């Protein structure tokens, strides 16, 4: 098992599992950038497709291609494993890596259920790692850091009203891929696979939520999961938020807005942001000099896999639990799970309410009629159609 002491004076030895678009487009470039700085070294890659992994390794200058994860872990003993496979494989592969002593950086959605997440967390080290972190790169840009700091200091006053929007567009060809839109293979619809990034950032900025009331529908696509959802979320601070996740929206945007007592914060982007994507509008009585200080975001660090990986490697070297792991990584999955339970049962769901024994703890559809595979709707006809009764990866998914 790598320790902070064992990493002194040498690069972190990394392996990539899965060689699809997210690995090629995000993980490998981030690892390569840190390799230039002497921080990482990619020693192996794994894929069930031998030709694909050999091509990936040839293009990336990676010395050891594998089609067997256990063999790679045994022979290469990596310090860090980057998991870029579909979500149904995440639990098994994360546990294997942790048991081999490697830290893990796993793509979202993290795992298909809270039960799976808790099983992974049980395999983590207790003092200094190894730990398993989730890719929630939108937390790691300079814009989010600046806003978190302003809110923590109370400079903008209490957060009162928030909006969280992931309104994207996916056509029928997108869902023609057999594993998409299916609970077992994709893990969930746009709430789980698309909107989880903005919801995670909202939680990271505003803190713990207390209750959620949601609706979900299948309005266009012939899928098992939803293609749109809406939710009302109350935070422990008292702030109220609306959340919309959609793949039915031709005008695509990712947006967060928080109205505080002394200012409105807005973030508008699509798949990633820079400092310029943020806007702070002060209340009329705020002095201009104070507002100008709020608008100074400092050096521009775009939200990216690179920004998160840089912090993760620093956590490895310090032997500290990284952000987006453990309870900090679980909170977004818990909100998504509660959103589905609320939508499919027409009830308000409170934080920490879903645990062992609850059907939604093990499967996000919860066995709900009209939503669970093979379970026919037995209630009123509107229950299956929408409303309250009603790339596994993103780049772009």
Digit-coded pLDDT (tens) for 266-284: 999 999 999 999 999 999 9
- Global confidence as pTM: 0.92
The secondary element (H helix, E strand) that includes residue 244 is strand 240-246
The confidence score (pLDDT) of residue 1 equals: 66
Query: Among 20-29, 72-81, 145-154, 171-180, which is the least confidently predicted range?
Result: 171-180
DSSP annotation string for 71-136:
HHHHHH--SEEEE-S-GGGHHHHHHHHHHTT-EEEEPSS--SSHHHHHHHHTTS-SSS---EEE--
In this structure, the strands spanning 263-269 and 103-106 are unpaired
For strands 80-83 and 248-260, give the pairing: unpaired
Asked if residue 217 lies in contact with residue 370, where contact means CB atoms within 8 angstroms, the answer is no
On the question of pLDDT at 353 being above 60, the answer is yes
If pLDDT is split at 50, 70 and 90, which confidence band does 394 have?
Answer: very low
Q: How many Å separate Cα 366 from the centre of its chain?
A: 21
The 10s digit of each residue's pLDDT in 245-255 is 999 999 999 99
pLDDT of residue 380: 38
Q: Report residue 395's pLDDT band, with 50, 70 and 90 as the boundaries.
A: very low
pLDDT at residue 270, as a whole number: 97
Segment 36-61 shows an average pLDDT of 98
């Amino acid at each position: 098992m790598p320790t902070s002491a064992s990493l002194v004076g040498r690069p972190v030895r990394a392996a990539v599992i899965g060689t699809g678009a997210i690995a090629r487009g995000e993980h490998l470039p981030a690892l390569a950038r840190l390799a230039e700085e002497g921080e990482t070294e990619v020693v192996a890659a794994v894929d069930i497709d031998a030709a694909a992994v050999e091509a990936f390794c040839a293009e990336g200058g990676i010395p050891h291609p594998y089609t067997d994860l256990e063999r790679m872990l045994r022979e290469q003993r990596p310090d860090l494993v980057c998991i870029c496979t579909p979500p149904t494989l995440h639990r098994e592969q994360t546990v294997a890596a942790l048991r081999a002593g490697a830290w893990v950086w796993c793509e979202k959605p993290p795992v298909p259920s809270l039960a799976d997440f808790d099983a992974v967390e049980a395999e983590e080290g207790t003092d200094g790692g190894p730990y398993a972190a989730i890719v929630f790169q939108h937390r790691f840009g300079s814009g989010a850091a600046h806003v978190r700091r302003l809110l923590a200091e109370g400079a903008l006053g209490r957060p009162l009203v928030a909006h969280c929007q992931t309104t994207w567009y996916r056509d029928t060809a997108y869902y023609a891929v057999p594993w998409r839109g299916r609970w077992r293979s994709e893990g969930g619809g746009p709430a789980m696979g698309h909107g989880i990034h903005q919801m995670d950032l909202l939680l990271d900025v505003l803190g713990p939520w207390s209750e959620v009331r949601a609706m979900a529908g299948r309005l266009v696509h012939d899928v098992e999961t939803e293609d749109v959802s809406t939710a009302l979320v109350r935070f422990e601070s008292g702030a109220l938020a609306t959340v919309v996740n959609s793949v039915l929206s031709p005008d695509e945007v990712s947006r967060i807005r928080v109205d505080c007592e002394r200012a409105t914060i807005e973030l508008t982007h699509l798949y990633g942001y820079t400092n310029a994507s943020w806007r702070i509008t002060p209340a009329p009585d705020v002095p201009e000099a104070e507002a100008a200080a709020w608008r100074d975001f400092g050096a521009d660090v775009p939200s990216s896999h690179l920004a998160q990986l840089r912090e993760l490697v620093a956590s490895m070297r310090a032997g500290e639990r990284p952000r987006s792991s453990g309870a900090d990584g679980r909170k977004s999955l818990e909100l998504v799970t509660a959103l589905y339970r609320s939508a499919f049962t027409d009830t308000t769901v409170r934080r920490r309410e879903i645990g062992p024994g609850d059907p939604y703890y093990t499967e996000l559809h919860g066995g709900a009629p009209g939503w669970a595979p093979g379970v026919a709707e037995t209630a009123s006809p509107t229950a299956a159609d929408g409303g309250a009764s009603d790339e596994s990866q993103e780049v772009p998914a």
